[in-house]
Structure 1
Amino acid sequence: MPALPQYADDLITRQMCATAHLDAAFAREVLEEYAADGIRSVGLPFGVNLVALVRHALAAQNRRGRRDRRLLALEGTLAAALVLGVTAVVNHHTGFGTALLLVAAAVFPVAGFVVYESEWALRRAVVDLKNPRVRAQEQVPAAEPALETGLKALRSANMVVYGLEAESENPFVGSGWRITEAVWSPFDVGRPAQALGGGTLTPLPFTAADLHHHLAKEMPKATGLSSLRARNRLYVRGPNVAALGTDALPDPTRRPLPTIPSSYVKSGAVTPGGGMETYLCLWTAGAGGQVMVSMHLRALLNPPKLSWEVAAYVLPPLGPRFRLPAEYSASESRLRLNAVRAAVTFAVPGVLGAARRALSRRAAAASRARDLERVRKEIRRGHTGYDYGSTNSLRERAAHWREMGYGERRDAQNYFKLMVQSVLSCTAAFLESRNVDTADLNHQQQQIVSLQTFNFNGVIGQLQAGAHNQMNVGQPMPPPGGGIGAGVPGNAPGVPASPAGLP
């Protein structure tokens, strides 16, 4: 059979990298969340190569910075040449004045070349991202080693700090839209299993942490999903993370650590603390990583009863603002022509607005620095209760529910059902290894599988529990938190639009 073309495994990362080049507001959003100084934690970026994304955002920012510095110098040259030229003409130095006025007029063709160079480099960077043979993060220079080390640490994070704004809607920040939420009916785990030769076996004691650990190891194999990942994570309420001490928050004026000693994670499964609980997090990606599905499980062990708390979420594909403009499917000559058009359009406003854009960026950076320092002063003074938690993630804000096609809905529902069945089968295998009778679990297993529902006809907002663990759908509601969103390209709040619509 002929091999059909497949989506690139890092398709989502490449789309976001391309948007960072095309949309200055999005590039700033990436860098403010993952590369800038801050205090609040960041949501986990499921399915996104953060190292590649930050590298491309930095490359885009640096390219725009070089362009604007040159345009600013040209604006200064223009102003000086005009003032001196007019002064010379008025003082009857006509030849010298005329030469200066010619210099002023020449500023705009030079500016056109500067803009063209930047626009062509932008288009070349976006086109290069369409080459699957070269990794996205290798197409641009590396960032600072310390920054990249911190970004890589998020891949193995075992602690997530969620903000108070997200607590009631989605403490599993970054997971997307909630599809189901349930607590399965408890089943008996207090009876010993029967021995093969007759009599009963001696049950071996176990904790919820032991069960979580077993499922984390066995679930990838049990589901048959090669892309499934499993990790136990401690979910901590934003103001409560300081109670964990320096193991989680070595500097109260900086972000919490994404990775803490595993003993805290085990403890959160056995004996949850105040605003601290451990969940087994399972997540997998659809074709090209366009859809991310996740399930968050917590074993509720109250001997002799055991149950599972289950919350399932889906991250839809990226929104319309991440679609490449049609011109990026054209030939190189067409791309160069479009770069020339952009240069002609932006040359004059680019020069005349260079100082304004520079002042606007500097004012925004100064305002952000002042806000951070104000909060840090309050923390240093001993004011407790600061909310270190995040409310969402960059990937979550980029998702758009209406981009979920039939295939994505079908695959996501299949993944969830595979996870449910595998959770039950792995639980049964674990109990059998502990010499526990699984008759009660086996009796309920089919009922749980058949009645567990995942609604893809609309985003679940307000949920009401119905019979048989079914969740009734209220009004659609997106995940909590702010951000630019996944609509059409735009500018960040408070940032004026660039002349001619260029980034």
Structure 2
Amino acid sequence: MPAAPYEERQVTVNETTGAGAARHLAPPSQSSAPPDDLVTRLLCAACYLHDDIADSVEANLLTPSRRALSPNWQVDQVALGRHAARATGLRTARDRWLLTELWYLIGLGVLGLLLTFTGVLSLFQLVLAVLFLAFWAYVVAAGIVYHQMRAARRSAIDVALDPRADPPPRLRRASTEAALRDLNHCNAVLYRSDTAPFVGSGVKLDNWQITIDISRRTEPEFEPVTGAALQAALLELLPGKITPRPSGAHRLYVRGGAGSLGVDLYRFGPLEPGLDRDGELNYRRPVTVLSPLAFRPYFDRRDEIARTYTCFQQSAWGGQVVVTLFVRAWVANETLFIEGQVYALRPLHSELYEVSELETGTVAELQELGRLALIDAPALLMNAPSTMMKKVRAARLRAANADEADAEIAARRDVDFGAVKSVREQVTNYDLGDHFAAADEEVYYQAFVRRAMECIGLFLTSRGVETTEFSGQSAEIITRTNENARSIYGAATGG
């Protein structure tokens, strides 16, 4: 089933008001490929079945911070954020009910002691009353825990089967939801200065370099050769040569750290009206969508701070396998330099597929959840006060961190604002031996490299560049790609 339409019209953080709004920002592009449905549904379902995943989504996507948001390629960020918020909300409601029950239990216990001291109750009657209260406290606590488990289970099954069956409400903060909507169309990535730039793209499969002497031209009147022209030509030529057709776009990758503020990834001017403290921080954190005009300065130079790549992405099995080709080119001293890198996101951990095996119906729920509720209820009841206190302290800490982060974004240049590892990467199984789609990954990997070589050759010919040097290098790259593919996929694909 297709995913629920989470793209209702709403003003985004990029559609700022006021004369001082940053002019380089762009509204989300509607031409990019939509997120694949299966991985989105599985991740949303996992938020209900695995508390750590919901907490990770909340920390990475829903809690405002100074860091840039990490792209989760081929995942609907808005849907994931909404389901994670509802999953954590179910747990919070459970803990509040358990805390209320515990206070009633303590109050009745104190009342029983007072009645015993005043002679209304005997010691034997007090013991009986305590046992009676303990029994019913256990029953009620088990019921509260069971209710939360059942609600989470049903929500997980619903979103896995049909996201339209029980859609979650909008996020409480419109600014957070707008930031996630922008992230669905991300074309600017601010990465940590001590990590690889392609955050969110998985593991590196291959990389290659080409250097071509462009001083030898067959005809002098041909158009000049530039890196930007080559990357634009690849964006036009390559998708049509691969079936199914991959998506293609330019992306700006900006290194975090002291130089990150040198790139225009921040909004300027007045804040949107009516924003709370977290909304202000969402507004000020690094943006993820830029106008194509902002990419121009970073095409034809080897900049240490920001680089524009032409990215081609092929997705299969509902987003369980995502292969991305990154190409960058620049010209220096009559020499064309071309860099290519291939990354892959692989299927999710096997635990995340368990939702498809869950049975529906009251009997199945009682059998599977009843025992867990009876086991977990005493510990959850007794720990309810500390759990709620931790949440209160966490909320206060988030508020303090928001103030500090806002000050850092506004005034400091020695802070790394880069994005961290994405949620999609955190739940990926990188053991190729467990992957049913390894053959598909190999096909896309080799197709990207071969067709890229073909398109680069066509571009050089169209510009009158002698291609003998290129032909030798491209043949060597393809040979090395074949050898690399055999070493990566041989055991997994039976080769």
Considering the TM-score relative to the shorter chain, is it more than 0.5?
yes
Q: Percent identity?
A: 26
Matches within 5 A, 1:299-310: 299-302=329-332, 304-310=334-340
Question: Where does structure 1 lack aligned partners over 5 or more consecutive residues?
Answer: 1-7, 194-199, 461-503
**Separation of aligned partners in 1, 2:447 and 2:117:** 84
CA distance in 1, matches of 2:298, 2:394: 40
1:64 aligns with 2:94: no
Match of 1:187 among 212, 235, 244: 212
* Alignment RMSD: 3.1
Shift in CA distance, 255/189, structure 1 to aligned 2, threshold 3 Å: same
Distance 1:413 1:403 in 2: 11
1:255 to 276, 285, 289: 285
Cα deviation 1:372-411 (Å, max 9, x = unaligned)? 544544565x442111112321111211211554643322
Q: CA deviation at 1:433?
A: 4.0
1:287–1:162 Cα change, 3 Å: same
Aligned with residue 350 of structure 1, among 374, 380, 393? 380
Task: Indicate conservation of the 8 Å contact 1:232/1:279, yes or no.
Answer: yes
- Where do residues 286-435 of structure 1 align in structure 2 (5 Å cutoff)? 286-302=316-332, 304-324=334-354, 328-329=358-359, 332-377=362-407, 382-402=411-431, 404-405=433-434, 407-435=436-464
The alpha-carbon distance between structure 1 residues 56 and 383, as it changes in their structure 2 partners (threshold 3 A), is closer
Query: How much does 1:320 deviate?
Result: 3.9
Evaluate the alpha carbon distance shift between residue 136 and residue 291 of structure 1 in structure 2; reply closer, same or farther with a 3 A threshold: farther
TM-score by length of 1: 0.78
CA–CA distance in 1 between the matches of 2:117 and 2:483?
80
User: What is the CA-CA distance between 1:456 and the residue it aligns to?
Assistant: 5.8
> 2:250 maps to what in 1?
232
Letter in 1 for 2:242: T
1:442-457 matches, within 5 Å, as 442=471, 444-453=473-482, 455=484
**DSSP 3-state at the match of 1:308:** strand
Uncovered stretches (5+) of structure 2, i.e. residues with no partner: 1-34, 270-279, 490-495
SS at match of 1:130: helix
Q: Which amino acid aligns with 1:234?
A: L
CA distance in 2, matches of 1:453, 1:369: 53
5 Å matches for 1:195-210?
200=219, 202-210=221-229
Q: Hey, what's the Cα distance between the residues in 2 that align with 1:270 and 1:323?
A: 45
Correspondence for 2:48: 21
Match among 196, 199, 211 for residue 173 of structure 1:
199
SS in 1 for 2:347: coil
Contact 1:223/1:422 (8 A) holds in 2: yes
CA shift in 2, pair 1:35/1:51, >3 Å: same
In the alignment, the residues of structure 1 paired with residue 483 and residue 366 of structure 2 have an alpha-carbon distance, to the nearest angstrom, of 48
Which letter does structure 2 place at the counterpart of 1:244? V
Looking at structure 1, the residues matched to 356 and 169 of structure 2 have their Cα atoms a distance apart, in angstroms, of 27
1:139 aligns with 2:164: no
Alignment of 1:104-119 (within 5 A): 105-119=135-149
Q: Verify the 8 A CA contact 1:72 1:351 in the aligned structure 2.
A: yes
Task: Give me the whole-angstrom Cα distance separating, in 2, the residues matched to 1:265 and 1:136.
Answer: 38
Q: Is the Cα–Cα contact under 8 Å of residues 155 and 166 in structure 2 kept in the other structure?
A: no
Shifted more, 278-287 versus 72-81: the winner is 278-287
CA deviations over 1:262-303 (Å, ceiling 9, x no partner) = 223122111343421111122212323212211211113236
Residues 55 and 140 in structure 1, CA contact (< 8 A), matched pair in contact too:
yes
Deviations 1:426-475 (A, max 9, x none): 22333444455545434544333223357467889xxxxxxxxxxxxxxx
Report the 3-state secondary structure (helix = DSSP H, G, I; strand = E; otherwise coil) of the residue aligned with 2:141.
Answer: helix
Contact between 1:85 and 1:98, CA under 8 Å: does it hold in 2? no
C-alpha distance in 2 between matches for 1:362 and 1:300: 52
**Contact between 2:159 and 2:165, CA under 8 Å: does it hold in 1?**
no
| 1:162 and 1:235 in contact (8 A); partners too | yes
Encode CA deviations 1:340-384: one digit per residue, 9 max, x unaligned. 22332233222222111111222334334434544544565x442
Matching of residue 93 in structure 1 with residue 112 in structure 2: no
Aligned partner letter, 2:477: I
Secondary structure of residue in 1 paired with 2:299? helix
